[in-house]
Structures are given as structure tokens and as C-alpha cells.
């Protein structure tokens, strides 16, 4: 089933908006992720779709039917909560079947659905256990099984993995995605973890203070962020962003005597942010890269890659490079940057991305004084 939001808003006092003017169409069978920092309105939006929160303005359509005043039990939606919401006095089987009993589904059908869901999620041997006898991952599977047996065409998930350890989160990400694809259901998934969003979503919506910043496929958003917020929120480590001065191009002071300059035409943009992803900083020169002196501040060797914090003049940049680079602190190094990987943002108002192609011939590192 599809879900369409048209100019949907939620305000608690007519001035403070938890969600503002949100419009999106979520297709049948799509894995759609709402992602953003705490307090951005993503859980409120999910509750509005579920019918657990009233709408201040706008419209919600479920499979083409206006659902603003539709009660939650008529929306054909199942929901998985952050705290799993399991009844501690009931067994795993009783927890899974609770919703079916309320709906008065025949007992034979209940048993059939329960066994199918538990077999799918590897929970068959735990049917007679109580939630307190289960690990965090097993409790999460019980909550998933409860959603599966409902056989609802839409499933809403509100940060279901936030209570799990890092290894188990990675495993459950894969399981949830495979489950959604196998069942062919429409899934709306809320998370503050951009790694979950990038690895699980068909499409995702990035939110900030209740407002939509960008909607699109994960790689499209990563490669073409709409503004500086999206650029720094999506990606780990986040994009390096530095203020620059502009006049017939832009100038980025790197050290007392070295300046990065560009002659590219920036039109009416007077204040600019220069963005560069950590993985686009290299330690070996290529045909199109330019050399920039830097000083190491912190080095983290992660086995297959190294994350370094470097001081480039007064700017603190992070670099993520393949391999093991055992630099010491305060070591003078040279980093290399391909101008084509630099992204520009307008520093005013919404910090929107500036569509601009940068080439090595338009950009250079100038030695001999930057006026600082």
C-alpha cells in the first residue's frame, strides 16, 4: 500500500512546529527511512501516519484514501517500537499472538502465522520463554514477529535497533531489510543513525527541526547534498566545511603563507562554505590533485582504514584513507585534494549547495602570503 503526505504539519502552540509542511509519496513495497538528529520531528511524523498523533494541517492518504480522521485500527498498519513493548508476564508465543487474539483471528490461523513468523526469524525454540529470559536481539525479533503475523501491508518502525550493541545492530539491519523484501510490505523506518539510513533505505528523507531538507536515494543524497546540513549529517566522519572569503572567485587561507584560491565565477554568492569529504582527502598525489600542507592532530588506525584529524592552518579537517598510516601527533604531512571533489555552499540562510564545477586550472595553492 502507498502513503502520500500533502503539506502535513504538527504544531503544539501555533508557533512551534514539530513537523512543518511535509509532502512526500511513499510507494507500495518501498523501504522509506526518516532520518535526522534527536528532536527533528521524525517520530512525531511516524505517529501521525499511524494515527497516534493528530494532524494540525495537511492531509494523509493511505492507498489513495484520505486518512486524517481514520482510527489507527483501520489504517492496516503494524508498528515496532523502540522499547519493543512486550508484555513481561506473557510468553513469546502469547506476545506474538496478542494482536491476532484481539482481532479474533481463528486459532488455527493464529498458530500457522506464528510458526511461519518464528521460523522466518529463528525464534521457534523460544516460544515458551518469557521476555526476561531473552537477549536484546531476541526481544527485537519477537517484536518483529508480532508485526509479521499481523500481515498488515504497512509496517512502521521507530528506532527499533537503538538499544542493541553495534555488532547486533549490523546483523539486525540486514535481517529487517531482507524481511521487508521477502514480505513485499511498505516500511517506514525512523532512525537518527545515518549508517542505518544509508544501508537500508530505498529512499530517505532528511529532517531538521521539523522541516524536510532533502528526499532521495541514499547515494544521490550523499553525492549531491542539498545543503550544508545534509552534507555534514550524512557521512561518517562528516564532511569538512570551512568558511571562505569571495572576490572574483574564493580564497581559503590555509596557513600564514599559503592560500587556496579559485577564479571560478560564483555569481551573486558573497559568503561561501567550502565542503570536502574526509574520504576525498588523499595521501598520494594524482594527476589532478593539489598539494596542501597539514599537521596531524589525532590518528585512529581502524585496521582497513585510518581516520586522521589534521590542522590545515586554522581549519580542523578529518581525512579517511585506506590502509594503515602510523603517523604520530604533530607530524607535518602533505595531503592531496582533487578540486572536482570540493562542494560549495552559500553561507547565508539555508546554506544551499551551489551548482558549480571546479577544475584544477581554476584552483591553485598560492605560496607567499595570504594577508593574514
Q: Is residue 147 part of a domain?
A: yes
Report cis status (omega within 30 of 0) of the bond before 318: no
Q: Which of 361, 364, 354 lies closest to 267, judged by CA?
A: 354
Q: Residue for cell digits 584544477? A: 360
Residues 223, 241 within the same domain = no
Residues 151, 271 within the same domain = no
Cell, residue 307: 581516520
Euclidean distance between CA atoms 204 and 20, whole angstroms = 17
Euclidean distance between CA atoms 336 and 321, whole angstroms = 11
For residues 32 and 217, the answer to whether their CB atoms sit within 8 Å is no
Residues 106, 223 within the same domain = yes
What does the pLDDT read at residue 83? Answer: 80
What does the pLDDT read at residue 147? Answer: 87
Residues 173, 267 within the same domain = no
Euclidean distance between CA atoms 112 and 99, whole angstroms = 15
CATH value at residue 267: 2.40.50.140
Euclidean distance between CA atoms 361 and 170, whole angstroms = 43
Residues spanned by the domain of 251 = 237-367
Q: Is residue 372 part of a domain?
A: no
Q: Residue for cell digits 598525489? A: 285
Residues 218, 248 within the same domain = no
Residues 255, 178 within the same domain = no
CATH value at residue 168: 3.40.50.300
Q: Is residue 172 part of a domain?
A: yes
Residues 225, 254 within the same domain = no
Residues 141, 182 within the same domain = yes
Residues 187, 307 within the same domain = no
Cell, residue 22: 511535509
Residue that is last in its domain, among 229, 251, 272: 229
What does the pLDDT read at residue 360? Answer: 58
HSE-CB of 64 using CA atoms within 13 angstroms: 1
Residues 50, 178 within the same domain = yes
Mean pLDDT by 10 residues, the chain (372 residues): 93 84 94 93 93 93 93 90 86 91 89 88 88 87 87 90 81 86 91 92 94 95 93 91 78 71 74 90 87 90 92 88 90 89 84 76 65 39
What does the pLDDT read at residue 256? Answer: 67
> Helix 166-183 crosses helix 136-149 at what angle (to 10 degrees)?
10
CA angle 320/190/196 to nearest 5° reads 25
> How many Å separate Cα 249 from the centre of its chain?
33
Euclidean distance between CA atoms 77 and 177, whole angstroms = 18
What does the pLDDT read at residue 370? Answer: 45
Euclidean distance between CA atoms 215 and 227, whole angstroms = 12
Q: Residue for cell digits 530505498? A: 202
Model confidence pLDDT, tens digit, residues 148-202: 888 889 999 998 888 778 887 888 888 889 888 988 999 999 999 999 999 999 9
**Largest Cα span, the chain:** 83
What does the pLDDT read at residue 371? Answer: 40
For residues 222 and 345, the answer to whether their CB atoms sit within 8 Å is no
Could you tell me the CA-to-CA distances from 196 to 138, 158, 232, 261, 320 in Å, in that order? 19, 13, 16, 37, 20
Q: Residue for cell digits 498488515? A: 152
Question: Left, alpha or beta for 175 (phi > 0: left; psi -120 to 50: alpha)?
Answer: alpha
Q: Is residue 137 part of a domain?
A: yes
Could you tell me the CA-to-CA distances from 291 to 16, 149, 336, 365 in Å, in that order? 48, 59, 5, 7
Euclidean distance between CA atoms 34 and 200, whole angstroms = 11
Euclidean distance between CA atoms 307 and 165, whole angstroms = 22
Burial class (CB within 10 angstroms; exposed 0-12, middle 13-18, buried 19+) of 128:
exposed
Alpha helices in the chain (DSSP H): 42-50, 92-102, 107-121, 136-149, 166-183, 194-200, 218-223, 228-233
What does the pLDDT read at residue 372? Answer: 38
Euclidean distance between CA atoms 284 and 299, whole angstroms = 17
Residues 176, 84 within the same domain = yes
Q: Count of domains in the chain? A: 2
Amino acid at each position: 500500500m502507498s502513503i502520500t503526505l500533502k503539506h502535513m504539519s504538527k504544531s503544539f502552540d501555533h508557533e512551534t512546529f514539530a513537523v512543518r509542511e511535509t509532502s512526500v509519496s511513499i510507494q507500495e513495497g518501498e523501504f522509506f527511512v526518516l532520518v535526522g538528529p534527536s528532536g527533528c520531528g521524525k517520530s512525531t511524523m511516524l505517529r501521525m501516519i499511524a494515527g497516534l498523533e493528530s494532524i494540525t494541517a495537511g492531509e494523509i492518504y493511505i492507498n489513495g484514501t484520505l486518512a486524517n480522521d481514520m482510527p489507527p485500527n483501520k489504517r492496516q498498519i503494524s508498528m515496532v517500537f523502540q522499547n519493543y513493548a512486550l508484555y513481561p508476564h506473557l510468553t513469546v508465543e502469547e506476545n506474538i499472538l496478542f494482536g491476532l487474539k484481539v482481532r479474533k483471528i481463528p486459532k488455527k490461523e493464529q498458530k500457522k502465522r506464528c510458526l511461519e513468523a518464528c521460523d522466518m526469524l529463528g525464534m521457534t525454540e523460544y516460544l515458551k520463554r518469557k521476555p526476561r529470559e531473552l537477549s536484546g536481539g531476541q526481544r527485537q525479533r519477537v517484536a518483529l514477529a508480532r508485526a509479521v503475523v499481523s500481515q498488515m501491508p504497512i509496517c512502521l518502525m521507530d528506532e527499533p535497533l537503538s538499544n542493541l550493541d553495534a555488532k547486533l545492530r549490523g546483523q539486525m539491519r540486514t535481517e529487517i531489510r531482507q524481511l521487508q523484501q521477502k514480505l513485499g510490505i511498505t516500511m517506514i523506518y525512523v532512525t537518527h543513525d545515518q549508517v542505518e539510513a544509508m544501508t537500508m533505505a530505498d529512499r530517505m528523507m532528511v529532517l531538521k527541526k521539523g522541516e524536510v531538507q532533502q528526499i532521495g536515494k541514499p547515494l544521490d543524497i550523499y553525492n549531491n547534498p542539498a545543503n550544508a546540513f545534509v552534507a555534514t549529517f550524512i557521512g561518517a566522519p562528516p564532511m569538512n566545511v570551512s568558511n571562505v572569503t569571495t572576490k572574483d572567485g574564493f580564497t581559503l587561507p590555509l596557513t600564514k603563507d599559503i592560500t587556496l584560491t579559485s577564479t571560478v565565477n560564483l555569481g551573486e554568492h558573497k559568503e561561501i562554505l567550502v565542503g570536502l569529504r574526509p574520504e576525498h582527502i588523499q595521501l598520494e598525489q594524482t594527476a589532478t590533485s593539489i598539494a596542501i600542507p597539514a599537521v596531524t592532530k589525532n590518528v585512529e588506525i581502524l585496521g582497513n582504514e585510518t581516520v586522521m584529524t589534521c590542522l590545515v592552518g586554522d581549519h580542523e579537517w578529518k581525512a579517511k584513507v585506506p590502509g594503515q598510516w602510523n603517523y604520530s601527533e604533530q607530524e607535518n604531512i602533505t595531503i592531496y585534494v582533487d578540486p572536482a571533489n570540493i562542494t560549495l555552499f552559500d553561507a547565508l540562510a539555508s546554506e544551499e549547495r551551489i551548482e558549480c564545477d571546479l577544475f584544477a586550472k581554476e584552483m591553485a595553492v598560492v605560496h607567499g602570503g595570504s594577508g593574514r
